[in-house]
């Protein structure tokens, strides 16, 4: 059993890293664009936890978070 402990720890670390790299959170005032190889494949407008392809797949999926608020600038001269 003592021989298996380092192997189990490494496997658990790899699994946790894959889960961590495949989850993203959209907050209430955000939207998310899910890009696959640079092309938009999905738009997430509702807040919540979502999944994408993990980091192990050469960054096939990336997420761009965009603020959902309207920013207003009044310039006084």
Domain spans in the chain, listed from the N-terminal domain onward: 4-67
Q: What is the pLDDT of residue 62?
A: 87
Give the number of other Cβ atoms within 10 Å of residue 44's Cβ: 17
Would you state the structure tokens that stand for residue 13, as one six-digit string? 């670390």
Mean pLDDT score, 24-46? 92
Environment class of 54 (CB within 10 Å of its CB; exposed 0-12, middle 13-18, buried 19+): middle
Question: Does residue 56 surpass a pLDDT of 60?
Answer: no
pTM metric for this prediction: 0.70
The residues near 60 (Cβ < 8 Å, ≥ 6 apart) are 36, 37, 53
């Amino acid at each position: 059993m003592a021989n298996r402990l380092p192997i189990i720890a490494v496997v658990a670390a790899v699994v946790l890293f894959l889960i961590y790299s495949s989850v993203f959170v959209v907050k209430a005032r955000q939207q998310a664009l899910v890009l696959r190889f640079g092309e938009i494949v999905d738009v997430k407008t509702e807040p919540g936890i979502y999944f994408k392809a993990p980091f192990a797949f050469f960054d096939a999926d990336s997420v761009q978070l965009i603020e959902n608020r309207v920013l207003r600038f009044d310039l006084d001269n």
